[in-house]
Structure 1
Amino acid sequence: MKRITKLETPISFISSAAVGGYEEKRGPLGNKFDFCDPSDKFGQKTWEIAEGEMGRVALNTALTKAKLSHEDIGLLVAGDLQNQCVASSTGLHSFGIPFVGVYGACSTCTESLMTLSAFMSTSADLTLGAAVTTSHNAAAERQFRTPIEYGGQRAKTAQWTSTAAGAFILGRTHGAVEICEYMPGRIIDGATADGSNMGGAMAFAAADTIINYFNESGESASNIDYIVTGDLGKVGSDVLKEILIKELPGVERLHTDCGLLLYDFSEQDAHSGASGCGTSASVLASHFIPLLNEGKIKNILFMSTGALMSPSSLLQGENIFGTAPLIRLKSTIGEKE
């Protein structure tokens, strides 16, 4: 069975916005974010509500950039790391847009864009849609590990959950940056039950998607500028490259990881890198979409990588499964009509 779906109807990025916190502002991409709050609270009384506010600010910013109203948007696909997508519902309910919630761990950004593209490509009436993804360091620590006040020590393989959000407005039209195909990820056993090494666990899913994409599509690696993963971090990126060197020699040189781009390792203690579904969303919105918009790069394979686990599954000694959905983004700048 073929896994790649080519979009016959053009789906393009109308606008994007990135929102972050204190550490994100300090990072290499900090000046590319639309808004950062150094308190990480975004004017709210709890970290959980603050994450919802991040999504609201990001979507509002993307709408403003596109000179659109929330009433113009036919469908909102959003997700976060909180149980039952509470951050998305808390932050985005005031827009009143028909909603599809996505809870795919750190694969949420790509899953949301893939889902929205699929809806829009098959519905002539759905001309504008929005996708929002958020994560918050303190909210995630409280849900998945221990509250930050506890002061728990992290292993060297552990990553830093980003306080970040990305919002995207998609249109059913040709544009400077288009989603031309997508490929759902499979559920792959990460071969570890170590919750401090999620990057290593997700690397196998990323490798599975990349290998199957090139085998099925027959695409030449020379036509791709970057293969972008979501948050494998240092450990996961090393594992992925080892697999690719063996299975698809040369392709490993195209790889970059959002978890390695968000923070400055010489100045920030991110251990193995950034994690959290806001990582890939904010890096896509602040870094890769602008590069594609300017025609500086032409084609990327974008995969938000997800570690499918829960506090209970880890306590029970279950392995961490991973998934890595893929979308291909192309720049049409310079193309002849």
Structure 2
Amino acid sequence: MITAEKRLLLRLVRMGLGNGGVCDLAERIEWNALLDLAVQQGVPAIVLDGVKDVSPSPFAAGDRLCKMQWVGMVMNMERQYAAYEKVIGELAAFYQQNGINMMLLKGYGLSKYWPVPNHRPVGDIDIYLMGDGNKVWKKADQLLHERLGIEVDNGHHHHSVFTYRGVMVENHYDFVNVHSHRSSRWIERLFKRLAASGHETYMLDNGARIILPSPLLNMLFVARHSACHFAAEGMTLRMLCDWVLLARQRKDDIDWDEFWKICVAMGMAKFVLCMAHIAHRYLGFALDVFHVPAVYSNFGTKEAELIERVLEDCFSSRHKVKEPAGVGYIIARYKLWKGNLWKHRIVYTDSVISTFLAQIKSHLMKPATIIGN
């Protein structure tokens, strides 16, 4: 059930994204609870942007401490963004000096589509390196170790991991985990082909150049990333905002027929349609932004219950639950996987049995992924 508190959060996100709307605030709002919810969803700054558009100020005198805490959090996010930007520039320059081009996935590149870029939370940095040869990522990791003394962790599927100036970096050699689902293999081949066939460049303040995925690859990759998170654990409003803001800003640069054709082939068309309808219904985005094919014109009516279920799942409390380690982690993940089978059916073409076997094999290949944190 979408509670009044969640509806208020959605209205404020809509206003923070510049999509208008009227926000009838209750006489007494539990601002601390709303802040906690906004943080869980990765949208504290955009919600505060929405609150600023409410006149007169909805904060009562007794809410001053919460307001100061909220503003302080957003200011800290802005400082983190500046530091994050500097790290990206230094890494890009290092790779460029060694004949390697750095493609940014998600994160910073997507923040440029937000109304206020530094109001998108930052986390780790995801990169995909391009250059001569098939093992560019491995060469890059060796250079990091030899020249900067950085230790690289290779205990993960589809990317290595290292820390640079306190920021975790995932160096992707694959866009998706090709071991977790059989269907991921052809998806990976497609993503690599799209990456090789075209991309965009962006110059940073330090003169370094970064590469960004083409609009079509970006739309597909971000949608797939969100879908996989949704099926495995859960999607947040920040992930949803990333995709819908990208769609709105680049709608004229995307081959939408190809996009929807690929979504169907991947098995995630229903999930992507749910994202589009949530954005339309709750965040004020025009549905024609997403160029939904005519065959799905009645989706909003026929699948209204599914759309609400996907949205409600975004607010699941598991986003803030710390998972156990060791055997407890395995048991917790199995229960989560079993409870998420309905989500699997709107994200993947793989059968449940095929997925179960593939994931057992995947974890055995990288034992560190079995024991959790």
Give the TM-score normalised by structure 2. Answer: 0.26
Is the radius of gyration larger for structure 1 or structure 2?
2
Which of structures 1 and 2 has the larger relative contact order (alpha carbons within 8 angstroms, sep 6+)? 1
Structure with more helix by fraction: 2
Give the TM-score normalised by structure 1. Answer: 0.29
Structure with more strand by fraction: 1
